[in-house]
Chain A
Amino acid sequence: MNQFAELVRVLGTSTKTNDKLDALANYFETANDKDKVWVIAIFSGRRPKRAVNSTQLATWCIELTGLPPWLFEESYHVVGDLAETIALLLPEDDLARASHSLHHYLETLLSIEKEHESIRKQFIVSAWKSMNRSERFVFNKLITGGFRIGISQKSMVNALAKSIKLDPSVIAHRISGNWDPVTTSYDELLSEQASAADHSKPYPFYLAYALEDEVSSLGDPVEWQAEWKWDGIRGQLIKRNNELFVWSRGEELMTEKFPEYATLRDILPNGIALDGEIIPSQNGRPLPFALLQTRIGRKNITKKQLIETPITFFAYDLLEKDGIDIRGSLLAERRVLLENIVKQVNHPALILSSLISYSTWDELSNLRKQSRNIGSEGIMLKRRNSSYQVGRKRGDWWKWKIDPLVIDAVMIYAQKGHGRRSNLYTDYTFAVRDGDKLISFTKAYSGLTDKEFAEVDSFVKRNSLEKFGPVRTVKPQLVFEIAFEGIAASNRHKSGVALRFPRINRWRKDKRPEEINTLEDLKKMLEIYGK
């Protein structure tokens, strides 16, 4: 466990990518194979199931330390991370400690998942006692989840490639998909001989960068294919061995979540992988992301939901046909094959993401202005003669999003942030005006520089009116421009609207709180864009 804790420490504090890569490569060269498999699993987003929850961890820590619960809370708000709070509060005794290996703790944790609470408690407490502070921190972090390692999956793949003789793209593919770190050995996963036994595996997604220059900088429009950019969940639809798999970009298997896809299993040709968007739609027109959210994570789906929010798949690329990886062929060729397949399948759940026909950049710029009206968030530009690459790469794929919607609002609540923003007020709630009242309508956590956050933080500390637990009510004085991608009706919010991806666009130091937008303005936006 110590070796892993040290790795996490270096990854978390090092400011240089090369130092992080070296630390990872060094880990993969020296750690034992079982631990390595777990590290690959963890760093590619495969967390062990939660055998205990945060409340239990907190309760047991309070019991062990004898601290009053309010002081635990107070400490938590200063640290901004539960796992770390517990690691800092537990007494460090001088007993000779001998921590076990990473896989020992994780696999024991899995094995007691169904046991009585007292057994799970006993395991956690004795695990804590066997560890030092930094080991406890990573252990708790593994349990509570939300582990920001400070390194991307891509970097981990590169570090692995450094220590074994495999191409990064091969490794990326091997570690994707549906494998279990408990039963998979390091050799099975990564040795040169290992065959890709798992037929569910998706391909690593090819991701686009945002187009920042003028669109004309891309050259001749003839070389480019334009499609609408959809706001759903990026996914791959795969059928192999007569089984259907739906993967999200986060490599979560979503096949069971959307029963709409089940019928595709029987009609899709075998040995196929489609890239596209998981998105609800009616008559080929996408529905707002907020509606997709009503379907995500829901186990029991009503008939009404299936009718009102049917989930579809907007396909825009074909990666595998007849069991053969065709990512190396040209987009124009893949597109023809894709169109044939969608036509042949002819099923309402599988929709061909249509191309935009245009001949000049000016014409396309004009078409782009209609994006919001057809439920799209802009345009995707893909080079017709490009192959399907791995990860985020510049050059052949660009997203050309429309400008966000904006509204001026005043900050009314503030709360301390987490992670590197711990003990700083960085999480804010904003309100618009409704007559002489202020109505809260959104939270936003990002968009300011560190310097601006420090400035707002000191304002909050000097101007808080009331304290509700960790939340401070703040004198409504600071005006911000809030940007967002979409708006939908919501009966869970006082304002009656829910925003898509709200963030702070800029601090309007030039505006007074009397000059902010009104609830009426928000409702107008809902009328225009949210239906």
Chain B
Amino acid sequence: MALIEFSNKGLCCLQGKFYIDPWKPVDHALITHAHSDHARWGSDSYLCHTLTLPLLQLRLGNNNYQKIEWEEPIFINGVRVSFHPAGHMIGSSQIRVEYKGEVWVISGDYKTEDDGISGKFEPIKCNVFITESTFGLPIYNWKPQPLIFQDIQDWICKNKEDGKTSVLIAYSLGKAQRLMPCVSAVTDNIFVHGAVWNAHQAILKAGVPLPDVKLVSNEFSKEDYRGAVVIAPSGAESSPWLKRFGDYSIGICSGWMQVRGNVRRQNADAGFALSDHADWKGLLEAVKETGAEKVYTTHGFQAAFSRYLNENGIQAAEVKTEYGDEESPEALTEEPKPEL
């Protein structure tokens, strides 16, 4: 019996009698982070990082929650469990599971670059590493954050000059907050969509400082929005909700914007490849630093990534999970996720 089994409800530790990010209701769920494909409704109890808790409350309402700090070990039915920063979004964690000297690490979603708000990704030595591979192809290599922030700021300033509103499309939970320091460096005039507003309030409540923003509403006129920045979740870019802004320009912030065709398909004026997932180099680095003897790759380009690892002397296999990717354009329309 392996320490972690891949069951039809999700990643399961039989010895510890708990599941990690289960996609069906279970008794004990350990949650890596608050995105909806990892934190699902219906379990009896949830264990998550302190900063994840208010976000789970926002998403799932009141439940039996228990919180834990990073690097704070607890024992569950004799299995040693600890949470470690994953750098994906506020509160996002990798989960380390140890029993009788064998160590497994479940990455959840992660990125290796420190974005200044999600906590710095920490590589953990282990025997088996279960890694995401959303962007597991070598075409995905991100520009460093300061450079891509510069691109976004230049774009905002250009729009301002032209008297246009800059509408930035970013996932409401995580990406939208990551953009705040970038945007607030060039303007105080920031509006947000209701979904972003809710996440914003929840995160403020958790004690994380964020700049002042205004909720887009009918109180404001086109004149108020001129030259301002609006942050809205994906899906908004093709809705009549945008009409209130008069003359505007749309910029989509997502790793998928790395490929030109995606930018054009979504009729965006600009695409910024700003992702909360590790790029190709990040994934390889992370895998190497764990020193794992065996790697399981999940969601994304897991087939290509595991084949590449195998060819480079790291034993790897792909695992099908039901995790999606909050950045994928498909996620907007509730389409089934691609299986590759």
Pair from one complex? yes
A residues neighboring B (CB under 8 Å): 12-15, 65, 67-68, 70-71, 74-75, 78-81, 84-85, 88-89, 92, 137, 418-424, 450, 454, 457-458, 461-462
CB–CB B139/A421 < 8 A: no
Q: Which chain B positions have C-beta within 8 A of A423?
A: 259, 261-262
Q: Which chain B positions have C-beta within 8 A of A89?
A: 138-139
Assuming the contacts A14-B269, A75-B137, asked whether A84 and B308 have C-beta atoms less than 8 A apart, the reply is no
Q: Which chain B positions have C-beta within 8 A of A420?
A: 261, 264-265
CB–CB A461/B139 < 8 A: no
Which 4 A/B pairs are nearest by Cβ-Cβ distance? A422-B261, A420-B264, A88-B139, A420-B265
CB–CB B259/A13 < 8 A: no
Q: Which chain B positions have C-beta within 8 A of A419?
A: 260-261, 264
Q: Which chain B positions have C-beta within 8 A of A67?
A: 138
CB–CB B264/A12 < 8 A: yes
Among candidates A13, A92, A418, A424, residue contacting B269 with C-beta atoms closer than 8 Å: A13
Docked CA distance A454–B137 (Å):
23
A49 → B minimal CB distance (Å): 25
Q: Which chain B positions have C-beta within 8 A of A68?
A: 308, 311
CB–CB A85/B260 < 8 A: no
Q: Which chain A positions have C-beta within 8 A of B339?
A: 461-462
Report how many A-B pairs have Cβ atoms within 8 Å.
84
Q: List 7 A-B contacts (CB under 8 A).
A: A13-B271, A68-B308, A68-B311, A71-B307, A85-B139, A420-B264, A422-B262
Known: A84-B259, A88-B138, A88-B139. 17 other contacts (CB 8 A): A12-B260, A15-B267, A67-B138, A68-B311, A71-B308, A74-B301, A74-B304, A75-B139, A88-B141, A88-B258, A420-B261, A420-B264, A422-B259, A458-B336, A461-B338, A462-B336, A462-B339
Docked CA distance A422–B265 (Å):
9
CB–CB B259/A78 < 8 A: yes
B173 contacts chain A at the CB level, 8 A cutoff: no
CB–CB A79/B336 < 8 A: no
Q: What sequence of 0s and 1s flags, for each residue 256-293 of chain B, a beta carbon within 8 Å of any chain A beta carbon?
A: 00111111110111110000000000000000000000
B77 contacts chain A at the CB level, 8 A cutoff: no
Docked CA distance A421–B260 (Å):
10
Docked CA distance A65–B262 (Å):
24
Docked CA distance A70–B259 (Å):
19
Docked CA distance A163–B267 (Å):
28
CB–CB B336/A461 < 8 A: yes
Docked CA distance A68–B310 (Å):
12
Q: Which residue of B lies closest to A91 (CB)?
A: B141
CB–CB B268/A13 < 8 A: yes
Q: Which chain B positions have C-beta within 8 A of A85?
A: 139
Q: Which chain A positions have C-beta within 8 A of B138?
A: 65, 67, 71, 75, 88-89
B218 contacts chain A at the CB level, 8 A cutoff: no
Query: How many residues in B have their beta carbons less than 8 Å from beta carbons of A?
Result: 29
Docked CA distance A78–B304 (Å):
12
Among candidates A78, A137, A450, residue contacting B265 with C-beta atoms closer than 8 Å: A450
B62 → A minimal CB distance (Å): 35
B333 contacts chain A at the CB level, 8 A cutoff: yes
Q: Which residue of B lies closest to A85 (CB)?
A: B139
Q: Which chain A positions have C-beta within 8 A of B263?
A: 13
Residue among A137, A420, A454 with most chain B CB within 10 A: A420
Q: Which chain A positions have C-beta within 8 A of B307?
A: 70-71
Q: Which residue of A lies closest to B256 (CB)?
A: A423
B27 → A minimal CB distance (Å): 31
Docked CA distance A65–B139 (Å):
11
Docked CA distance A434–B301 (Å):
38
B208 → A minimal CB distance (Å): 33
B248 → A minimal CB distance (Å): 11
B72 contacts chain A at the CB level, 8 A cutoff: no
Q: Which chain B positions have C-beta within 8 A of A81?
A: 260-261
B161 contacts chain A at the CB level, 8 A cutoff: no
A422 → B minimal CB distance (Å): 3
Q: Which chain B positions have C-beta within 8 A of A79?
A: 139, 259, 261
Docked CA distance A144–B81 (Å):
54
Q: Which residue of A lies closest to B333 (CB)?
A: A454
B219 contacts chain A at the CB level, 8 A cutoff: no
Docked CA distance A89–B279 (Å):
12
Q: What sequence of 0s and 1s flags, for each residue 126-159 of chain B, a beta carbon within 8 Å of any chain A beta carbon?
A: 0000000000011111000000000000000000
Q: Which residue of B lies closest to A84 (CB)?
A: B260
CB–CB A421/B261 < 8 A: yes
Q: Which chain B positions have C-beta within 8 A of A424?
A: 265
Docked CA distance A137–B261 (Å):
13
Q: Which of B196-210 contact A (CB under 8 A)?
A: none
Q: Which chain A positions have C-beta within 8 A of B336?
A: 458, 461-462
Q: Which residue of A lies closest to B263 (CB)?
A: A13
Docked CA distance A457–B260 (Å):
19
Q: Which chain B positions have C-beta within 8 A of A454?
A: 330, 333, 335
Q: Which chain B positions have C-beta within 8 A of A450?
A: 265
Docked CA distance A507–B205 (Å):
50
